């Protein structure tokens, strides 16, 4: 490393990132870290956030400020580096992983967990084993803390449910004693009937709530099983394809291998199965969704699924909006459609709505 750094420093091209980084490293190792920071900050002014060099220089500055013990400046430049990676569409990045670690050390477990997931996705997309190995060092700690946090939240919710149940039981007991008190001291038939009716209503409400909870549990278990089965089937099919490709490659049947690789029937079948499962799951939870959407559209612009399809692409986009997913990029990724397609459909749907401005908010209220 020292040898190659000397070669770079001997280069006449002193305005390149490689030269500036080599000079910065040399100064830092000699104890002149603040001077190295000054050089990098001046060099940073030459780049915009949309340049990948901006991200790399910000990351180097974060490392130098970390060496000086300035955690505030280190966090600032890690954030700037991560933002620049997004602007420059760079998947080969370092800053997001370090930012996740910094946030984890500050106690922000949820954001650290989310940033770590994005870092892993970028590493998998870029195909670098080194980044995956680096992620593996910090992921267990963040994941464990995230699980503990989620468990704590669930216990808190459970405690609230227990408290609500106790209050409900206390209310029922109170109603019962009030009813006894009225019967004993007032002896009025009208009041006794009224209190009895109120008690019955409370029991009916509790029965409805209990039925809804049971239904919700059944739906959750059914669709967890459904999507686990779908995932397992896709893994099995992918494994079968892998065996076929390996066999053709081993037997040097390259024409057949090329034909298999060009064949996209597997992707089409998997996508179709994925849509069927999504449509079935969503409509079982919201059976009146299509009718609810059509009530929000003009009479001449209503949507009717054709053939065997249960939801059209437009309805699937609205279904994700009903589930709280409104970001075009996430919708595009989930539905395997282009960003342009998602944006176009959303714009056309708003144009066909009775109330353009509140259309998507109205969709979120469909029960």
Q: State the average pLDDT over residues 290-319.
A: 87
- Nearest Cα neighbor of 309 from 347, 283, 348, 270 is 283
pLDDT for 321: 93
Residues 6 or more apart from 122 whose CB is under 8 A from it?
Answer: 91, 92, 93, 96, 131
Q: Got the DSSP string for 3-70?
A: HHHHHHHTSS-TTSHHHHHHHHHHHHHTT-HHHHHHHHHHHHTT--TTSHHHHHHHHHHHHHHHHHT-
More confident residue, 280 or 216: 280
d(CA 74, CA 63): 7
pLDDT for 351: 92
Residues 6 or more apart from 121 whose CB is under 8 A from it?
Answer: none
**HSE on the CB side for 301, CA within 13 Å?**
16
pLDDT for 132: 52
d(CA 349, CA 315): 10
Answer whether residue 136 shows pLDDT above 70. no
For residue 149, count other CB atoms closer than 10 A to its CB.
Answer: 13
pLDDT for 43: 87
Weakest-pLDDT range from 99-108, 183-192, 215-224, 228-237 = 215-224
Question: What six digits make up the tokens of 232?
Answer: 């397992």
pLDDT for 35: 87
Domain with CATH 1.25.40.10 in the chain: 2-144
pTM of the predicted model as reported, rounded to 2 decimal places: 0.38
Which phi and psi (to 5°) does residue 297 adopt?
Answer: -105, 160
pLDDT in tens, 293-303: 999 999 888 88
Question: What six digits make up the tokens of 333?
Answer: 């990724």
Answer whether residue 216 shows pLDDT above 60. no
Secondary structure element (H or E) that encloses residue 326, with its range: none
Answer whether residue 33 shows pLDDT above 90. no
C-alpha dihedral sign at 292, 230, 226, 151: negative
d(CA 50, CA 86): 8
Answer whether residue 183 shows pLDDT above 60. yes
Q: State the average pLDDT over residues 254-258.
A: 76
d(CA 97, CA 137): 10
pLDDT in tens, 343-367: 999 999 999 999 988 999 999 998 7
Answer whether residue 22 shows pLDDT above 70. yes
Weakest-pLDDT range from 79-83, 148-152, 178-182 = 148-152
d(CA 66, CA 77): 10
pLDDT for 178: 87
Q: State the average pLDDT over residues 320-342.
A: 91
Q: Does 2-144 carry CATH code 1.10.2020.10?
A: no
Domain with CATH 1.10.10 in the chain: 281-364
- What is the CATH T-level fold of the domain 281-364, as seen in this structure? Arc Repressor Mutant, subunit A (1.10.10)
Which phi and psi (to 5°) does residue 293 adopt?
Answer: -65, -45
pLDDT for 235: 63
Weakest-pLDDT range from 99-108, 278-287, 310-319 = 99-108
d(CA 144, CA 190): 60
Residue 157 Cα to chain centre, angstroms: 22
């Amino acid at each position: 490393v020292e040898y190659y750094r000397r070669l770079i420093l001997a280069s006449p091209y002193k305005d390149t990132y490689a030269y500036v980084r080599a000079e910065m490293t040399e100064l830092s190792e000699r104890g002149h870290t603040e001077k190295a920071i000054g050089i990098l900050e001046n060099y940073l002014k030459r780049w915009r956030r949309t340049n990948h060099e901006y991200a790399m220089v910000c990351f180097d500055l974060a490392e130098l400020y970390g060496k000086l013990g300035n955690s505030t400046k280190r966090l600032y430049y890690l954030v700037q580096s991560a933002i620049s990676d997004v602007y420059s569409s760079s998947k080969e990045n370092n800053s997001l992983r370090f930012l996740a670690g910094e946030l984890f050390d500050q106690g922000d477990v949820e954001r650290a967990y989310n940033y770590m997931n994005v870092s892993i996705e970028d590493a998998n997309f870029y195909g670098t084993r080194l980044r995956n190995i680096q992620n593996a060092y910090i992921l267990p700690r963040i994941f464990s803390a995230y699980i503990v946090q989620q468990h704590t939240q669930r216990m808190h919710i459970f405690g609230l449910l227990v408290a609500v149940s106790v209050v409900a039981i206390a209310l029922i007991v109170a109603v019962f004693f009030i009813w006894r008190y009225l019967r004993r001291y007032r002896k009025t038939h009208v009041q006794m009937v009224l209190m009895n009716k109120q008690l019955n209503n409370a029991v009916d409400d509790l029965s409805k709530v209990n039925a809804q909870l049971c239904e919700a549990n059944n739906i959750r278990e059914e669709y967890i099983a459904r999507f686990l089965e779908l995932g397992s089937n896709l893994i099995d099919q992918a494994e079968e394809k892998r065996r076929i490709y390996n066999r053709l490659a081993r037997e040097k049947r390259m024409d057949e291998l090329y034909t298999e690789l060009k064949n996209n029937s597997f992707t089409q079948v998997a996508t179709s199965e994925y849509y069927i499962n999504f449509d079935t799951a969503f409509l079982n939870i919201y059976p009146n969704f299509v009718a609810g959407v059509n009530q929000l559209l003009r009479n001449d612009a209503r949507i009717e699924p054709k053939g065997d399809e249960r939801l059209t692409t437009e309805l699937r986009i609205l279904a994700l909006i009903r589930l709280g997913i409104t970001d075009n990029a996430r919708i595009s990724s989930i539905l395997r459609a282009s960003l342009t397609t998602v944006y176009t459909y959303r714009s056309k749907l708003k144009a066909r709505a009775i109330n353009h401005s509140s259309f998507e908010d109205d969709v979120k209220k469909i029960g």
